[in-house]
Amino acid sequence: MAYKLVSADGPQSVPALLHRNAKQFANAPAYREKEFGIWQSWTWSQTRDEVEALALGLLELGAKEGDFIAIIGRNRPYLYWAMMAAEMVGAVPVPLYQDANAEEMAYVLDHCGARFVIAGDQEQVDKVLEVEDQLTQFERIIYLDPRGLRKYDHSALDQYTAVQEMGRKARDKQIKELEARQAKLNYDSTGVMLYTSGTTGKPKGVVLSNRNIIETAKSSSEFDGLRQTDDILAYLPMAWVGDFIFSVGQALWTGFCTNCPESADTMHVDLREIGPTYYFAPPRVFETQLTSVMIRMEDASRFKKWLFDRFMKVARKVGPSILDGKPVGLMDRLKYGLGELMIYGPLKNTLGLSRVRVGYTAGEAIGPEIFDFYRSLGINLKQLYGQTEATVFITAQPDGEVRSDTVGVTCPGVELRIADNGEVFYRSPGVFVEYYKNPESTADTKDAEGWVATGDAGFIEESTGHLRIIDRAKDVGKMADGSLFAPKYVENKLKFFPNILEAVVFGNGRSECTAFINIDLTAVGNWAERNNIGYASYQELARHPQVMDQIQSHVEEVNASIAEDEMLSGCQVHRFVVLHKELDADDGELTRTRKVRRKVIGEKFEDIINALYDGSPSVSTVTEVTYEDGRKGSIAATLEVRDAKVFADNRKKAAA
């Protein structure tokens, strides 16, 4: 190839990295996807050819430099290629959340002014067509899966393969132009734009440059010693910065292989078949997996259950130490070895985690029991702290220094500063360029010296240098008596109980804390089944007196543990209700990444909050719900308000 895109300092853009890999790792697998029951794979050189064909096709369709090209669909190699092809023609790829509804999609598509949309299937095409009238710059849709689209009006619709075909035919005509456009790309040109899910207000478009992507990919790959022979499973939303960095950034930098599952339903089977060596999952995934393992063990024969319990005890005792390379007695090592043979090995294989060398979790706090369970099995699960604006990495746990309550030390090249109010600030080569068309927010978040406010409150542990995050800075408030109020800290402690799926704690400016609780239907439902408790719906199970008793005991346990913390002992939960519906992103109560929207919840359930504070024993309420197809309905319920035991405030005692 006649490309001269790699400067003396190494590849300066995503396409440049692709060309490098096509040469350097020509016949190594780059992308795999299970389709028709078989893992189809593409080498790096094939990938380059596919991407190039699409890029040439985009040129034929009139894609200009600086255009925005939206990409919507589940994780598929073709859509990753679409992002690279967009960059090749000098356009900016904008991956969108595939489960966003048409209205949410309309806002983003119009905000960036996308001229082209590359959509996975009919569902996504329909959504775009539905809001087409609201979009001013939109021109064409390119779709991947032709199913159901045959009879659509094709005047502004093209099939992906047809565009590639068009590109291959026009190669002679357009290749010079394509090369020229790629030659213009450098560290400062935009590599991708990702919309943040927006815990508050409308989503913001985070512009990341090639510098952000490549520098981050480089330093993080070195930090964890990622190899060209590694395998990852790409199953998290393509619009999320993590997936972009893992499946595009790091994949291109180290040349490892990205594997796409057959469908969302087959994720676990595919995970087992691929056995990734580098794996990321949000705490929720680990939690669900652990719950299902525990439920299945409950149903296993007594001998198997005995064996499992016995060896898990051994694993809990010495597993993490063995993983960290700390000295462990010979007898324990032998027992652990036997356990590996009989329990841990087969279990890891079932979970699809046999080969994991580097595993990460982030996004939310992970329960210590869950975290320790995986580590004791010998899976190197670690935590990292990051955000879209930092191109993921701010801090991460190095091998051998892993704990469930910190998020690790600063990543290479990152500087950290804690403001007086406890808010964490950072500066790094990964710091985003700007929020697109939103200079005010950019200025609010990033100062002139490049320091970025995370919006999270935390502190650095002096003994270890590890960062600990307590809560969102704006959520950290003061109780009426002036003591610290950190709702998320309490919520996380509550959510570590398998029976509790979601919790929302109130108390800012008040004298006591109270909480909303969502039960976990899988865990509680299973318990109900084993104890012969009949129920017809979530609502009925949620208000069962025995379930209420269990939740109450969990709340009291949490209160006991909070009472020991000198800074936060005022945050004990005095009263709580178990909500009659699950908090849902479709109702706007959670973000698409399942973070609690406090303001929305506070307004929507005002009557219940009032009942929590005015001492009434129960509250009747009617709540509007939105179904998946957009229709609305309502749920009426009477909720019991329970008091929970609180514990003496240690801090006051010490003072007295």
Partner 1 sequence: MKDQADGYVTADGRQIGPVVMEMKNITLRFGGVEAIKDISLDIREGEIRAIIGPNGAGKSSMLNVISGFYVPQDGEVWYKGARRAPMKPFQVAQQGIARTFQNIALFEGMSVLDNVMTGRLTHMETGLFWQSLWKGKAEREETANREVAEKIIDFLEIQAIRKTPVSRLSYGLKKRVELARALAAEPSILLLDEPMAGMNVEEKEDMSRFILDVNDEFGTTIVLIEHDMGVVMDLSDRVVVMDYGKKIGDGTPHDVRNNQDVIDAYLGVAHDD
Report the interface residues with partner 1, using CB under 8 A.
35-38, 147-148, 150-151, 262-263, 265-266, 269
> Which CB atom, from 148 or from 602, has the smaller least distance to partner 1?
148
Nearer Cβ to partner 1 (266/537): 266
Q: How far is the CB of 596 from partner 1 (least distance, A)?
A: 29
Q: Nearer to partner 1 by C-beta: 268 or 510? A: 268
**Six token digits for residue 536:** 């017809």
In sequence order, what DSSP letters do the residues of 51-69 get, joined into one string? HHHHHHHHHHTT--TT-EE
Shortest reach from residue 493's CB to partner 1, in Å: 35
Helix pair angle (14-24, 44-60), 10° resolution: 140
Q: How far is the CB of 631 from partner 1 (least distance, A)?
A: 12
Closest to partner 1 by CB, 35 vs 624, is 35
CB of 351 to partner 1, least distance (A): 17
* Residue 115 phi, psi (nearest 5): -90, -35
Q: How far is the CB of 621 from partner 1 (least distance, A)?
A: 27
Which of 280, 223, 213, 281 lies closest to 253 in space, CA to CA? 213
CB of 147 to partner 1, least distance (A): 7
Instruction: Assess contact for 514 and 507: CB atoms under 8 A.
Output: yes
Give the shortest CB-623-to-partner 1 separation in angstroms. 23
Nearest to 46 by CA among 86, 8, 77: 77
- Closer Cβ to partner 1, 99 or 607, answer by number: 99
Nearer to partner 1, 101 or 122 (CB): 122
Q: How far is CA 400 from CA 187, 231, 319, 396, 416, in A?
A: 34, 22, 13, 12, 22
Helix (H) or strand (E) holding 93: strand 92-96
In this complex, which beta carbon is closest to partner 1, that of residue 124 or of residue 212?
A: 124
C-alpha Rg value of the chain to the nearest Å: 26
Element counts in the chain: helices (H) and strands (E): 24, 31
Q: Which amino acid is at 129?
A: L
CA-CA distance, 116 to 61, in Å (whole number)? 10
User: For residues 426 and 453, what is the distance between their CA atoms, to the nearest angstrom?
Assistant: 7
**Min. distance of Cβ 235 from partner 1 in angstroms?**
14
Do strands 358-361 and 409-410 pair parallel, antiparallel, or not at all (unpaired)? unpaired
Residue 617 CB neighbour total at 10 angstroms: 9
User: Nearest distance from residue 162's CB to partner 1, in Å?
Assistant: 17
Helix 368-376 × helix 283-299 angle, to 10°: 70
The span from the CA of 208 to the CA of 434, in Å, is 8
**Looking at beta carbons only, is 40 or 200 nearer to partner 1?**
40
Helix 330-339 with 302-323: angle, nearest 10 deg: 130
Which residues, 6+ apart, have CB-to-CB distance to 601 below 8 Å? 504, 516, 583, 589
Contact 260, 75 (CB under 8 A): yes
The residue type found at 177 is E
CB of residue 294 to partner 1, shortest distance in Å: 22
Cα separation, 528 vs 545, whole angstroms: 12
Whole-angstrom distance between the N-terminal and C-terminal Cα of the chain?
78
CB 131 within 8 A of CB 106: yes
CB closer to partner 1, 150 vs 176: 150
- The whole-angstrom separation of Cα 361 and Cα 385 is 9
Structure tokens at 643: 């008091």
Question: Which lies closer to partner 1 via its Cβ, residue 159 or residue 321?
Answer: 159
Residue closer to partner 1, measured from CB, 150 or 302: 150
Instruction: Specify the residue, 107 or 152, whose C-beta has the smaller distance to partner 1.
Output: 152
CB of 151 to partner 1, least distance (A): 5
| Phi, psi at 459, each rounded to 5° | -150, 160
Nearer to partner 1, 265 or 449 (CB): 265
Closest to 277 (Cα-Cα) out of 231, 242, 233: 231
The answer to whether the beta carbons of residues 467 and 441 sit under 8 Å apart is: no
Q: How far is the CB of 263 from partner 1 (least distance, A)?
A: 5
Structure tokens at 75: 């994780």
Q: Can you state the angle between helices 171-183 and 77-88, rounded to 10 degrees? A: 70
Residues contacting residue 590 through CB under 8 Å, at least 6 positions apart: 502, 583, 584, 596, 597
Q: Please, what is the minimum distance in Å from the beta carbon of residue 468 to partner 1? A: 40
Nearer to partner 1, 266 or 546 (CB): 266
Taking the least distance from each CB to partner 1, the nearer of 148 and 225 is 148
Element (H, E) at 11: strand 10-11
Q: Which is nearer to partner 1, 130 or 262 (CB)?
A: 262
Query: Whole-number minimum distance, CB 222 to partner 1, in Å?
Result: 37
Min separation Cβ 36 and partner 1, Å: 4
Residue 264: CB minimum distance to partner 1, A = 9
Pairing label, strands 381-387, 358-361: parallel
